Amino acid sequence: MNKKILLIRLSSLGDVIHTIPLANALKAAGYKITWLVSEKGIQVIENNPCVDKAILIPIEKWKKRGFSLENFKEYLAILKEIRNEHFDIAIDVQMLLKSMYWMIFCGAKRKIISKQAREFSFLGANEIIPKITENFEHPVIRNYMKYADYLGVDTKNIVVTLPERSQETKQKIDELLKNVEKPMVVIAPATTWAPKHWNKDYWREVVKNIKDKCSIVFTGGPKDNELIEYIIDKGNFLNLAGKTDVLELAEVFSRAKIVIAPDSGSTHLAWATQKPAVITIFTCTPLKYLAPIGDKCISVIGNLPCQPCFKRTCYLKTNACTNYPKPEEIINIVNKLLSNAENVV
């Protein structure tokens, strides 16, 4: 009988995607994988071939309700479902207080976490491996694979997978993209951290210089429309912000020649489709640590002495890193990719 692993990685979308290669490596080694995931990542894990089962932890719903008996009853019901699985191993990739609650009571015989765990989450484990991250010099995907290394699993190959998109999803994207004729460049300019946003006037400059060579499509959430409308500047471009869910967005990315974005969930979702060239613009976050990996991935960052600070708020109060790279650098990369079909298939 295959041993059963409980993988705990609740959020965010990008972090969940970074953990998929770990799940694939463990499953390829013969383990049965169950993944605890929150609303932000459930669509990319449920029905993903990297897992045998996905269990939704409705963190966002619980936050909206606030402290309540109903939340506690749902927590106990999920915990009962987990304990009934009789896991051999639990791995806490989240390494925070919110994952510790599941780790402590999951019933697994072996509970594994890294020494770099925060918020005292190591208290939920009975096996602590060395730090998986040192100075953000190595890809986070490789760092997560150290859990598999610890279990003696082969980690040479990085395999990322997504659930198969339904025919209904494909038909919806067919309709949304029906007027796209030229090679498609998708721009996803927004993210959740203000210091990760690139200069909005630079986006305008990029759009102005590439618009005649490709079909430009913008993506994002409903809150991103103001930024996108500024970048569009009365131009005639397709704006899909707020019109797609995660898997529909993945389908859009899979049809693109190029995706351009800051360090964001969109970047990593585009990478996970393994289809377009992905240009990632880094400002305050560490490129070596978070950049998508592979021949089709191009990541760019400035060379300011404060980069990368990896802070949600600029301690210099200048947000100077959002002004790098200059738009000409991105324009040149896009033009090169568009002129070389092999790089954008």
Domain assignment present for residue 49? The answer is: yes
**Residue 344 pLDDT > 70, yes or no?**
no
Cβ(88)–Cβ(109) under 8 Å? yes
Do 297 and 229 share a structural domain?
yes
Residue 172 and residue 137 share a domain: no
Residue 162, in any domain of the structure: no
% of the chain with per-residue pLDDT over 90? 96
Q: What's the mean pLDDT in 103-129?
A: 97
pLDDT score at 342: 45
Closest alpha carbon to 20 in 144, 173, 195: 144
Q: Range of 116's domain? A: 4-150
The pLDDT value given to residue 98: 95
**Tell me, what amino acid is at 239?**
N
pLDDT at 343: 45
Strand order in the sheet with 215-218: 238-239, 215-218, 184-187, 258-262, 277-282, 297-301
Torsion of CA 208, 179, 249, 187, to 10 degrees: 0
pLDDT in tens, 173-197: 999 999 999 999 999 999 999 999 9
| DSSP conformational letter for 235 | -
Amino acid found at 28: A
Q: Based on the structure, what is the number of domains in the chain?
A: 2
pLDDT (0 to 100) of residue 338:
96
Read off the pLDDT band of 1 (50, 70, 90): low
Number of Cβ atoms within 10 Å of the Cβ of 236: 7
Extract the tokens encoding 67. 């402290």
Pair 206, 145 in one domain? no
Phi, then psi, of 227 in degrees rounded to 5 = -65, -45
Rounded Cα distance, 213 and 339, in Å? 10
Q: Residues 149-160: pLDDT tens digits?
A: 999 999 999 999
pLDDT of residue 345: 38
For residues 9 and 141, membership in a common domain is answered with: yes
Are the C-beta atoms of 117 and 93 separated by less than 8 Å?
Answer: no
**Average pLDDT of every residue of the chain:** 96
pTM of the predicted protein model: 0.95
256 with 217: CB under 8 angstroms?
yes
Query: 161 lies in a domain?
Result: no
pLDDT surpasses 60 at 28: yes
Q: Give the CA dihedral 308, 309, 313, 316, nearest 10 degrees.
A: -100
Supply the pLDDT for residue 162. 98
The closest of 69, 122, 66 to 96, measured between CA atoms, is 122
Quick one: 116 and 235 in the same domain? no
What is the distance between the alpha carbons of residues 277 and 82, in angstroms, rounded to a whole number? 39
pLDDT for 30-48, tens place per residue? 999 999 999 999 999 999 9
Percent residues over pLDDT 70 in the chain: 98
Q: What is the pLDDT of residue 341?
A: 55
Q: What is the pLDDT of residue 134?
A: 85
pLDDT in tens, 278-335: 999 999 999 999 999 999 999 999 999 999 999 999 999 999 999 999 999 999 999 9
Residue 58 within a domain? yes
Within a domain: 288: yes
Q: Assess if residue 156 is contained within a domain.
A: no
